[in-house]
Amino acid sequence: MSHIHIPDGVLPVWLWAAGWLAALAVVYLAATVSKRSDVRRKVPLLGVVAALMLVSMSSEIVPLAYHVNLTVIAGVLLGPWLGIIAAFIVEVVLALLGHGGVTVIGLNTLVVGGEIVLGWAFFRLCVRMLGRTRVGWATGIATVLALAISTTALVGIVALAGGGAATGRETGALDPTNLTFANPFGAGVFSVNTLRGEGTVPAEAAKAPDGGLSVARFAAVVFTLGPIGWLLEALIQAATLGYVARVRPGLVFGGALSVRARTLPSHEAVR
């Protein structure tokens, strides 16, 4: 549920623009840190793990409007810095496929990237506490905790966007007459007039207190459906990572980059 499925033009401009700026700053930082060593090996690894997340996200659990993210697995395999870059790549591709808005790529990168970083941190903590034999439990706990926090962040974003009546009917709209984000028409250009074909908005209607995004209702829906999704995702990721830990434990406890690179048969000759 952490991935923001909010359409373009619903969140205020200042919010998604700030999200873009913050995400780009974090991605540039992550790229700078990641570039310090062995970039050539990281590029294909990033590509396949991001692709893995995309493939998993393409299967939706319809009644819950939920899809598996594999963020904790991505965090365990890639680590925090590459994980943030993977989150950005996944969001860009998803937005181009129409799944998620282009304007919310920045916020989505922060939320999903945060989920990857938290998943990685919680997993390592749980492994330290529970031991290496309980990878499934560690993954499950890390997944539920990371998803709970990122979902709360999602609700926080919606609260920032439209808790008050001021942003209710002007969500996402820049006022080009004065280049501010305030609503020049009060409440109701759209919903009062559009379908009735009336003229100007009565002053009483313009000052109607209602009109903001319903944060309480949104939180109620998200925190009702969300935990079912968290549990499903925890089970799937725990079983998957448990299997990987049994077959190739080095990948799980050291990350995908810890496995030594193969040497090409003709490597010496190439040099």
- In the window 244-263, what residues touch another protein (CB under 8 A)? 244, 247-248, 251, 256, 261-262
Q: Is 89 in the site for another protein (CB under 8 A)?
A: yes
Both tokens of residue 151? 């979902």
The closest of 141, 110, 112, 114 to 125, measured between CA atoms, is 141
Distance CA 36, CA 99 (A): 33
Q: Is 131 in the site for another protein (CB under 8 A)?
A: no
Helix (H) or strand (E) holding 24: helix 13-34
Q: Which residues of the chain form beta strands (DSSP E)? A: 60-61, 66-67
Q: Is 133 in the site for another protein (CB under 8 A)?
A: no
Q: Is 34 in the site for another protein (CB under 8 A)?
A: yes
Q: Is 41 in the site for another protein (CB under 8 A)?
A: yes
Distance CA 218, CA 130 (A): 36
Within 10 A of 85 (CB to CB), how many other CB atoms are there? 24
Distance CA 47, CA 82 (A): 10
Nearest CB to another protein, comparing residues 42 and 115: 42
Q: Is 271 in the site for another protein (CB under 8 A)?
A: no
For another protein, the binding residues in 177-196 under the rule CB under 8 A are: 177, 185, 189-191, 193-195
- Shortest Å, Cβ 112 to another protein: 14
The residue within the footprint of another protein, chosen from 15, 50, 117, 126 (CB under 8 A), is: 50
Both tokens of residue 80? 């925090």
Distance CA 158, CA 201 (A): 27
118 alpha-carbon distance from chain centroid: 12
- Shortest Å, Cβ 172 to another protein: 5
The residue within the footprint of another protein, chosen from 93, 121, 125, 160 (CB under 8 A), is: 93
Mask for 63-82, x = binds another protein (CB under 8 A): --x-------x---x-----
134 alpha-carbon distance from chain centroid: 27
Nearest CB to another protein, comparing residues 22 and 235: 235
- Shortest Å, Cβ 40 to another protein: 6
Distance CA 66, CA 229 (A): 6
Nearest CB to another protein, comparing residues 147 and 173: 173
For another protein, the binding residues in 203-242 under the rule CB under 8 A are: 210-215, 217-218, 220-222, 235-236, 239-242
